[in-house]
Amino acid sequence: MLFLEHLKKQNGMDGKGGRWGYTVLVGGYLLDYVRKRPPLIRSVSRDPYRDQKKLLYTVLTGGYDRLNEIPPSLASARKWDFVCITDNPALSSDTWKIRLVDNDYGLDPVRLSRLYKIKNHLVDDGYDLSIYVDANIRLRGDLDLFLNQAMDKDRALGLLHHPFHSSLKQEVELCINTGRDDPELLSKQYRTYTDLEKFSDPYPHINARLLIRRPGDPHLQALMETWFNQLLSWSRRDQVSFNYSLAQHPGVSPCYIPYWLFRVHFKKLDHR
């Protein structure tokens, strides 16, 4: 199963190594799968994050998606702000605060969206914690409960395990086969990483539709700068360049979130 491939990489990444460390990770994953499923999840304390100032934000540029409103029962959550970054002056919402931005950098709509997605310090200054979600994601669960279950208190970055891929090679092949970016550029990027830079792809592969970050961490901000610069130099597909960027910043140790836990609290909708 795919989660086993992610955990093998995570075992090596965390420095545990060996069969015993891997067995502990697998056992913990399976225990969490039982312990964190509804209705048990609703009995867990929300206290660690309940009184922190938090932001849920999304980015909507180029009319690529429609904005999904926050459910009324969740829109008044304690110490949460909901912000949509957009280049559309006509966009309005009953539950999101609309923040209009200019394209001073002359970026295409995808990279303009990625700018605010990746460089969270442009959005979440003054918050204790922020969650980015793609615009085609609908909130359907308690965010404080999600954080309590998903995010380690000593980590500055939370990432989703990819639900279908476990390697950079699989990601690149999918992007080429489905025409998500220039095949020649993607192939050259992959060869540069693996052949010239000797990148061995040692980390769990991520799905970047959700990112959790603690603002103000200098190591994290440096990683985000490197990641976005890769998008300026190579493919706009951010999942292709993340693990390569992470390898340049050993001071950042992400917290990896099982994809099933994401599905408890969020629903992915089709793009417009």
Domains of the chain: 1-35 (no CATH), 47-165+204-272 (3.90.550.10)
In the prediction, which pLDDT does 179 show? 96
Q: Is 103 a residue whose pLDDT tops 50?
A: yes
In the prediction, which pLDDT does 212 show? 98
- Please give the sequence-ordered ranges of beta strands (E in DSSP) within the chain, or none if there are none: 54-60, 80-86, 97-100, 129-133, 137-139, 157-161, 206-213, 255-257, 266-268
Position 242, amino acid: F
From 70, 49, 76, select the one nearest 58 (Cα to Cα). 70
Q: What percent of the chain has pLDDT over 90?
A: 74
From 109, 197, 206, select the one nearest 157 (Cα to Cα). 206
Q: Is 178 a residue whose pLDDT tops 80?
A: yes
Q: Is 15 a residue whose pLDDT tops 70?
A: no
Helix segments in 201-258, DSSP class H: 218-233, 238-247
pTM: 0.90
CB 252 within 8 A of CB 224: no
Q: Is 41 a residue whose pLDDT tops 60?
A: no
